Structure 1
Amino acid sequence: MAAAGPTLLLESRDAQERREWRRSKAAEFEAQVDALPYVDKEYEDPAVRAEVNRLVQEEMRRSTRTPADILAELPPVPELRTELVPMFARECERVRAGRPPTLAVDTGRYESAGKAPGGRGAEDPNAWKGAVKAAMVHLQHQDARHENLDLMLRFGPNAWRVHNQHLEAFLAKAQMEVVERKREIELLNRDRRLNQQAAAVELGRLEQAWKDGVQKNADIQTACWQLEAEIAGLKTEAEALGIITDDSMQQD
């Protein structure tokens, strides 16, 4: 079995649920009639466009759907799993309970490091103990900074190069996916255009046959009216000449 490539993005369960929702909606509207933009040219007529917009607005006014109905058709909201991050879970619980936010990091001990107690504190042993403790914390913090800087100088460049390589690989994969999606879209649009143009011939033939049938029915109706008028005139003339009588006309 071929080895799988590096996974750059992890697909969550919520993404899978949204994909399943889109698939179910696609199956639900599978029989929906598609538009024929490469065949139907009537919408380019401003009068037709205005009539279509009017009908759409009228349908929207008569619609009984509420915002809740529309929201019910949307994919489910992703589940917020606060248990994965305890700190975030505690903060959400604090906000939900309406408790005030906790104090931020106290930076006073860093700011006062190295400063001797003044005033009354100069004679207070506890104040000196606090100053010594703050100085020790500040010293330890500076030692940690020096150690981090040393590690960064030793390993930072290579780590940054590796990080850049990962970003370049991710960018290359994303660009390839964009190119592939654009190619699929282009092929799909081309197939739609070719299929619609091929169907346009049959649609044109059927439309012309319908127009011919309508025109033929209109011609037949006109001819029938003319014959009825001619028959009525002949009957009137025959009655005037006495060729037919009212009794014979009633029998007919």
Structure 2
Amino acid sequence: MAGTGLVAGEVVVDALPYFDQGYEAPGVREAAAALVEEETRRYRPTKNYLSYLTAPDYSAFETDIMRNEFERLAARQPIELLSMKRYELPAPSSGQKNDITAWQECVNNSMAQLEHQAVRIENLELMSQHGCNAWKVYNENLVHMIEHAQKELQKLRKHIQDLNWQRKNMQLTAGSKLREMESTYVLLWDTLYLSSGDPLFCWCQ
């Protein structure tokens, strides 16, 4: 049943699953399934039943590199291989064998390559000296993060359990009141029936 003070579309569920009985009685499950199937058969969603939702912006997180790659895939073009040209040390062409400038560019390229390799060697040496400790620190931080996440999970599970216990207590209390009111109702009708002296009194009322 819908409440008068509710937001449009909200429904108050009046079932008491912790108190109600008879769900396992013969035919109950079949009757519930028939109701669901009947409602599903009546529900015919239109093509624009999600029109109230904003249209998703799929390009919000796209970068230029991603966009270029998507365009390449759409055009069915092969992927561009990693260029190794900057690691090459080509000599001057045959027409520039006597060109000092061309040889100077080759020397500069060789020096840049050597410097690059020296930096890589230095990075490897630093990694061999400090990489182990850095990895241990990372693992320790990861363990702390896992412990924190597990504590939060335990809090959430306890909160869910408390809510379920609260719901159960509320439903059992409400069920007891309903049963008491039902007994009072039957007792009053019996008393009224006996005092009226008319066998059809209760039905006429």
* Larger helix share, 1 or 2: 1
Deviation at 1:167, TM superposition (A): 1.4
Equivalent residue letter for 2:82: V
Q: Give RMSD over aligned pairs.
A: 4.6
Equivalent residue letter for 2:30: A
Partner of 1:82: 61
Higher relative contact order (CA 8 A, sep 6+): 2
Q: Residues 8-27 of structure 1 correspond to what in structure 2 (within 5 A)?
A: none
Q: Residues 200-219 of structure 1 correspond to what in structure 2 (within 5 A)?
A: 200-208=175-183
Deviations 1:34-92 (A, max 9, x none): 542101122222411110101110110111224652x4577874764236x43224334
Greater Cα shift, 56-65 or 99-108: 99-108
Partner of 1:91: 69
1:36 equivalenced with 2:11 (yes/no):
no
Partner of 1:177: 152
1:103 equivalenced with 2:83 (yes/no):
no
Does the residue aligned with 2:19 lie in a helix, a strand or coil? coil
Q: 1:39 to 1:183 in 2, by over 3 A?
A: same
Q: Residues 1-252 of structure 1 correspond to what in structure 2 (within 5 A)?
A: 31-33=11-13, 35-66=15-46, 68-69=48-49, 71=50, 77=56, 80-82=59-61, 85-92=63-70, 94=71, 98=75, 100-107=77-84, 142-208=117-183, 223-224=199-200
Deviations 1:158-198 (A, max 9, x none): 32233223212221221111011001001000000000111
List runs of 5+ in structure 2 lacking aligned partners: 1-5, 97-102
Deviation at 1:212, TM superposition (A): 6.4
Q: Normalised by the size of structure 2, how large is the TM-score?
A: 0.64
Does the residue aligned with 2:27 lie in a helix, a strand or coil? helix
Larger radius of gyration: 1
Identity of aligned residues (%): 32
Equivalent residue letter for 1:81: A
Q: Within 1, Cα distance between the matches of 2:15 and 2:53?
A: 23
Q: Normalised by the size of structure 1, how large is the TM-score?
A: 0.54
Deviations 1:221-244 (A, max 9, x none): x9349xxxxxxxxxxxxxxxxxxx
List runs of 5+ in structure 1 lacking aligned partners: 1-25, 117-122, 226-252
